[in-house]
Chain A
Amino acid sequence: DTAVSQTPKYLVTQMGNDKSIKCEQNLGHDTMYWYKQDSKKFLKIMFSYNNKELIINETVPNRFSPKSPDKAHLNLHINSLELGDSAVYFCASSPHPLGGTTYEQYFGPGTRLTVT
């Protein structure tokens, strides 16, 4: 019974390609996030959606475009991949403030992206 799942787990691709990562949560949470973790383990927020609405958009190149078809899914599409995009991308979700706390974020297993 996976709470937050991501596909694919590993993604190896060449520079210039376009790729997507999918995330799904079955926790009934309202808020979902995308994080990037670099090779030094530094975890940085990229985007957050609440009930399909974008609410956090950090300084991320516009080659990255999140999409939330419904509140249980948040996908990340990356255009024109660059070497510097190589990292582990984590999806996370958190409950509505009335039902919990939004810093109680539950992370998926990550997608390891390697751009060659």
Chain B
Amino acid sequence: QKEVEQDPGPLSVPEGAIVSLNCTYSNSAFQYFMWYRQYSRKGPELLMYTYSSGNKEDGRFTAQVDKSSKYISLFIRDSQPSDSATYLCAMSARNTGTASKLTFGTGTRLQVTL
């Protein structure tokens, strides 16, 4: 079993829809949670990060963490065609020292249609 599980999709939604992307994890040492967005043939870019259970909002994006269920989500409101990309969740056991070993999910491909 992988440490981080993520539905690969593809997920196709109409413009303006609310999108829900999810990851589950098995390692209870994970404390820091991130969402990266990767456009086709590009490198991943950090969208959001959080380290506590609960919600964190940034514009149209909301990250939600439930450590008791080992479950994280990313919600996208009013989705746009420009949101079409692969979304990768990532987790880290701790953020001390000089480097973080991130464990990534396999990514969910999202397509927002006009």
Contact = CB atoms under 8 A, between A and B. Distances in A.
Interface residues of A, number: 30
Nearest to B108: A41
Interface residues of B, number: 26
B75 interface: no
Given A55-B97, A102-B100, 8 more contacts: A31-B99, A41-B106, A42-B106, A44-B104, A45-B102, A101-B100, A106-B45, A107-B44
Interface string A91-111: 010101100011111111110
B104 A105 contact: no
Given A105-B46, A110-B43, A97 B98 contact: yes
Contacts of B46: 104-106
B12 interface: no
Contact of A103 (B32, B42, B44): B32
B73 interface: no
B95 to A, nearest CB: 6
B97 A97 contact: yes
A104 B95 CA distance: 10
A48 interface: yes
Contact of A105 (B8, B42, B102): B102
Interface in B22-46: 32, 34, 38, 41-46
Contact of B95 (A40, A43, A97): A97
Contacts, number: 76
A55 B97 CA distance: 10
A110 B43 CA distance: 6
B49 interface: yes
Nearest to B34: A103
A15 interface: no
A30 B99 CA distance: 9
Given A102-B95, A102-B98, A107 B45 contact: yes
Contacts of B45: 106-107
